[in-house]
Amino acid sequence: MSTLWIRNPRAVHLGAELDSSQAAGGLVINTGSGIIEALVPAGVTPEVDEIFDATDLVVTPGLINTHHHFYQTLTRAWAPVADLPLFGWLTNLYPVWARLTPRALELATTVAMAELLESGCTTAADHHYLFPSGMDQAIDIQVEVAQRLGMRAMLTRGSMSLGTEDGGLPPQQTVQDPEIILEDSRRLVEQYHQRGPGAMIQIGLAPCSPFSVTTGLMRESAALARELDVRLHTHLAETLDEEQFCRERFGMRTVEYLDSVGWLSERTWLAHGIHFDDAEIARLGAAGVSVAHCPTSNMRLASGIARVIELERAGVAVGLGVDGSASNDASNMIREVRQALYLQRLRYGTEAVTSARVLDWATAGSAAALGRADIGRIAVGRQADVAMFRPEGYAFSGAHDPIAALVLCGAERAERVMVAGRWRVIDGRALGIDRDALIAEHQHHAHRLVTG
C-alpha cells in the first residue's frame, strides 16, 4: 500500500467548529485503502511514498450532493418553462421527459456527474423517477456511469404511480404500476447496494412526491425500505401548491401525511423542505429526518426559503443539493455553497450563516443526510474524498481568508478531486472523458428530446 502526502496546502477546511491548524502541513492518504491516515501539523515531515505539493491550493472534504435529477441536463434553459413556477414547469416538461431514451440518459448522467466532479463533488444522490417505455434499465445505466467515472453515488429508484386520470400531476404515460416499481426496487437493492464504510454505490427508494404517487405506494415503499434496510427519499413541502394539494386530497398537511404513510424515521431525507411550521420542524427533528436544501432551484422557481437554522436546531441534518439541471441549469456544488450562503443570509443575517457553516452543510451535513459516517470530513480514518481549489485570477486577487474566499469570491471549479484515494479530476478536468465529443452528442440528444 502506498502513502501520499498532500503537502502544505494554503488552507484546509476541517469543519466550522474545528481547529484546522492540526492539518496546516497537510494530510497523508493511504492510496491503497483509500483512507485518510494522518493529519500533518505545520513543520512536520511524515515518512511517505509520494508527495503532492498543495502549496497554492485550498483543501476541503469532497462536496456531497444530496438531491439531483441527472436526466434534466437535457432540458436546461428551455424557453417554454423558463419563467414558470413548479406545477406549470412540471406539466410542460413531463411530456418532453417521457421521450427519454437509454442513450440520452447515459449522456445526461455522464454530463451531470462530470460537472459535479469538476466542481469538487465526490458523492452524488440522484432521484430518477421516469421509466417510460424502453427505460426499464435506467438505474443500471446510472450505475455503469458512476463506476466508470469513479464517483460515489446514492442512486434512488424513484417512481410515479398517480397520473392525471386519478387526480395526480404527471401524464399517464409517465406512471407505472406499483407492483412493477416494488419488484424493480428490490432487484436494484439486491444487485447493486453496497453497505458499510467505503461504499461506492448505494440504492435508495424514492417515490417522487405526494402529487405523483399513490398513498399505497408510499406505504409499501416505506415497508420495503425497512425490510431491505435502505434509505427513503421524496420531494416534500417544496411549494404552497403542494401543501394545498395535500390538504385537498388527504385532508392533512405534508408532514402529517408523511407520518400517516410511515415515513417519519431516521432513514428518510426530504428534498427542499421549505414550508414547515414550528411544530412540523420539531416532529421532523424528533424522528431523525434529514433535509436536502436546494437554494438555486428554490430561487429559480420562486418556491421559498427553507428554514435551515431552525431545522438544524431541532436535530434535522441539513445537506445541500443542486436539484435537477432544469430548475438549476447547472450541476455545480461549490456554486451551490455560495447560493446557500446568500439565500440563507436573507433569512438569518450574516453572523449566523458563515462560509464555514455552509461548507459544513455541503460536506458533513450532506453525509449525515445520506446516512454516511465515513465521508464528509477530513479526519483520520475517514474516506479519502478530497477537493482542492486554486484561488487565482481577478476574482481572488486581494482575497485574504482562503476558506471565506472560496465562497465569497465565487470558486467555480476544483483543480484536483480525489475519491477513495484516487485522483478523479486533474487540472480541472474529469478523467476518462472526451469532453468535446460528450458535449456534442449530449447537445444532439437534448435537441431531439424537446423537438420530438
Task: Give residue 208's domain range.
Answer: 63-369
Domain count, the chain: 2
Q: How many residues does the chain have?
A: 452
* pLDDT digits 0-9 by tens, 336-379: 999 999 999 999 999 999 999 999 999 999 999 999 999 999 99
Residues 165 and 188 in one domain: yes
* pLDDT digits 0-9 by tens, 285-328: 999 999 999 999 999 999 999 999 999 999 999 999 999 988 99
Residues 207 and 265 in one domain: yes
Residues 158 and 275 in one domain: yes
Q: Are strands 152-159 and 121-128 parallel, antiparallel or unpaired?
A: parallel
CATH code assigned at 286: 3.20.20.140
Distance, in Å, from the CA atom of 263 to the CA atom of 225, rounded to the nearest integer, reads 10
- Asked if the structure places residue 401 within a domain, the reply is yes
- Asked if the structure places residue 441 within a domain, the reply is no
- 217 falls in which pLDDT band (50, 70, 90)? very high
pLDDT attached to residue 326: 87
| Residue 327 dihedral angles phi and psi, to the nearest 5° | -120, 0
Mean pLDDT value of segment 375-387: 98
- Asked if the structure places residue 92 within a domain, the reply is yes
Query: All 3 cell numbers of residue 426?
Result: 486533474
- Asked if the structure places residue 83 within a domain, the reply is yes
Residues 103 and 185 in one domain: yes
Residues 9 and 104 in one domain: no
**Residue 363 falls in which region: left (phi positive, over 0), alpha (psi -120 to 50) or beta:** alpha
CATH code assigned at 397: 2.30.40.10
In the chain, the percentage of residues whose pLDDT exceeds 70 is 100
Question: Could you write out the DSSP letters of every residue in 280-343?
Answer: HHHHHHHHT-EEEE-HHHHHHTT-----HHHHHHTT--EEE----TTTSS---HHHHHHHHHHH
Q: Which of 369, 397, 421 is the last residue of a domain?
A: 369
- Asked if the structure places residue 47 within a domain, the reply is yes
Residues 247 and 343 in one domain: yes
> pTM for the whole thing?
0.98
Residues 239 and 355 in one domain: yes
Residues 294 and 397 in one domain: no
Residue 1: pLDDT over 80: no
Query: All 3 cell numbers of residue 260?
Result: 400517516
Residues 414 and 394 in one domain: yes
CA angle 267, 273, 274 (to 5 degrees): 170
Residues 364 and 388 in one domain: no
Residue 85: pLDDT over 90: yes
- Asked if the structure places residue 403 within a domain, the reply is yes
* pLDDT digits 0-9 by tens, 402-444: 999 999 999 999 999 999 999 999 999 999 999 999 999 999 9
